[in-house]
Amino acid sequence: MNGKTPPMLTRKQHELLVYIDRHLKQTGCSPSFEEMKDALQLKSKSGIHRLISALEERGFLDRRHHRARALEVRRLPEDMANRTTEGEHFSPTVIRGDFTARIPGVRTAKDAAAISLPLYGRIAAGLPIEALRDAGSQIEVPLAMLGNGEHYALEVAGDSMVEAGILDGDQVIIRKGDTAESGQIVVALVDDNEVTLKRLRRRGNSIALEPCNVRHETRIFPADRVKVQGRMVALMRRY
């Protein structure tokens, strides 16, 4: 620290930095100014602008000015720098393709502990499309990445979840179920005919389907128009 005393934060600056850090770790996206205003119970967004500017000046926060809603936590106060909360960080479990298993006579340790899951076609991570089941397609998935319950796989089409580490062509592993907590990435059925992969947010009697790409907009529906069909637990990617 070159003998210098680290800059002190006000209570509101500290609260905002903690909120931004947790939001980034949980969602992979920067919170909106509206979300930050609500989280800190401020009356206007101008107060958030002032707090962010102060955090920038003190070296705790960076703004990527060429991207909307893009914030980066450079460092945390010493009282929380070493603090972690179980389950608060979302980082997709990426299983990279192991092509040695295709060589006749060659088996890997993964082969002995893998299971075949049905691959139900392509799901939009951009504009919603119907995810069609293809009973003839299967995908090999290591058992270690699955928990209890029934699972299936979907291939991602589109780029609206890239800031959560989910890319076009990835195969996401979904645990079947009709419930999900706010903030989880889910397969959502809208109006019984559109299926999309988005982060779910509950807002009173409404449900927001939130992308993780600043070029895509959040869609908000009455709760009775959205049915959860499963939540994402991992993804697989081939190179």
**Position 5 in a domain:** no
- Clarify whether residues 118 and 69 are in a common domain: no
CA dihedral 91, 165, 33, 221 (to 10 degrees): -100
Distance (Å) of CA 188 to CA 124, 156, 223: 11, 14, 11
Active-site hit among 53, 160, 176, 227: 160
Domain CATH number, residue 32? 1.10.10.10
**pLDDT tens digits, residue range 52-72?**
888 988 888 887 755 545 788
Instruction: Output the pLDDT for position 130.
Output: 46
- Clarify whether residues 63 and 143 are in a common domain: no
**Position 87 in a domain:** no
Q: How many domains does the chain have?
A: 2
Q: pLDDT in tens for each of the 239 residues of the chain?
A: 444 444 578 888 888 988 888 877 776 677 788 888 888 888 888 888 889 888 988 888 887 755 545 788 888 876 554 444 433 444 454 544 443 444 343 334 444 478 888 887 777 766 554 445 555 678 888 887 787 888 888 888 888 888 888 888 888 999 888 999 888 999 998 988 888 899 999 988 999 999 998 889 999 999 999 999 899 988 888 76
**Position 92 in a domain:** no
- Clarify whether residues 129 and 232 are in a common domain: yes
CB 48 within 8 Å of CB 31: no
Active-site hit among 32, 110, 176, 198: 198
166 in helix, strand or coil?
coil
Instruction: Output the pLDDT for position 3.
Output: 44
**Which residues form the domain of 231?**
111-237
Domain CATH number, residue 151? 2.10.109.10
- Clarify whether residues 199 and 135 are in a common domain: yes
Is 32 annotated in the active site?
Answer: no
Is 43 annotated in the active site?
Answer: no
Give CA 130 to chain center in angstroms. 21
Instruction: Output the pLDDT for position 111.
Output: 46
